[in-house]
Amino acid sequence: MILLTLNMLFRKRGTAPSILAIALLVAILASMGSITNHINSEAEALKELVNIGETYIFLSKQSSSITSSQIDANLAGVLKTVPGVNHVLPQKIFKANMTVKSNEKAILLRAIADPDLFFDLRGGSLDGAKAKARGEACVGEILARMVGINLGDQVNLTINDVTIEVRVVGIFRTMTQSDSELVVPMEAAHNLTGSEGKVSMIEFTLEVDAMKDPIQNIYKLLPGDVEVMQVQQPGKFIQDINAQTLFFLNNWSLAVYAVVVAASHIVAARLTSESTYELAMLRALGTRKRHIFTLILTYMVTVATIGSILGVALGIAGAQTASTVAGWMLTSLNLAPFMELDQALELIILTQASSIVGSIFAAFKAAGKTFEELIL
Partner 1 sequence: MRLLRFSYIRTRSLLVLALILTAASALFSFTAISFLGFYKTFSSYLGEEEDIVAIYDRKSDTPFTGLVSMQLAVSVQSLQGVLAASPEVIVPVIAKGESMFLRGVVPAVFAKLTKLCLLQGDQLRLEDSDSVMMGIRLAERLRMDAGEKILAFAVLAQSYVELEVKGIFESKTALDDEILAPIYVGQWMRGIDYDHVTLIRVKIERSLVSPSRIFAELSREASEPSQGNEEGDGQQGGIVTWPRALFSIEDIGVEGAARFMKIYLDNYGVTEETILILSIMVFSLAGASVISASKTLIQQHKGEIEVLRSVGASNRTIRTDLLAKVLPWSVAFSMVGTGIGILALMIFERSGHLEVLSHGISFQFDPLILVLQLIVSSLIVALGILSSLRSQV
Binding partner 1 (rule: CB under 8 A), the pick from 103, 233, 321, 324 is: 233
Minimum Å distance from CB 179 to partner 1?
7
User: Per DSSP, what are the bridge partners of residue 338?
Assistant: none
Query: Is 71 in contact with 201 (CB distance < 8 Å)?
Result: yes
Q: Rule CB under 8 A: is residue 110 a binding residue for partner 1?
A: no
Nearer to partner 1, 94 or 187 (CB): 94
**Amino acid sitting at position 125:** S
Count, residues near partner 1 per rule CB under 8 A: 66
Q: Rule CB under 8 A: is residue 16 a binding residue for partner 1?
A: no
Q: Rule CB under 8 A: is residue 208 a binding residue for partner 1?
A: no
User: Per DSSP, what are the bridge partners of residue 185?
Assistant: 112
Nearer to partner 1, 319 or 348 (CB): 319
Binding partner 1 (rule: CB under 8 A), the pick from 45, 48, 252, 373 is: 252
Q: Rule CB under 8 A: is residue 187 a binding residue for partner 1?
A: no
Q: How many CB atoms lie within 10 A of CB 216?
A: 9
Q: How far apart are CA 271 and CA 59, in angstroms?
A: 66
Helix (H, G, I), strand (E, B), or coil: what is residue 106?
A: strand
Minimum Å distance from CB 1 to partner 1?
27
Query: Is 186 in contact with 112 (CB distance < 8 Å)?
Result: yes
Binding partner 1 (rule: CB under 8 A), the pick from 61, 132, 236, 288 is: 236
Query: Is 111 in contact with 185 (CB distance < 8 Å)?
Result: yes
Q: How far apart are CA 49 and CA 213, in angstroms?
A: 22
Residue 351 φ/ψ, nearest 5 degrees: -65, -40
**Amino acid sitting at position 6:** L
For binding to partner 1 (CB under 8 A), which residues are involved? Answer: 14, 17-18, 20-21, 24-25, 27-28, 50, 53, 55, 57, 59, 64-68, 93, 108, 142-143, 145-146, 173, 175-177, 179-180, 229-234, 236-237, 240-241, 244-245, 247-248, 251-252, 255-256, 258-259, 261-263, 265-267, 269-270, 273-274, 326, 329-330, 332-333
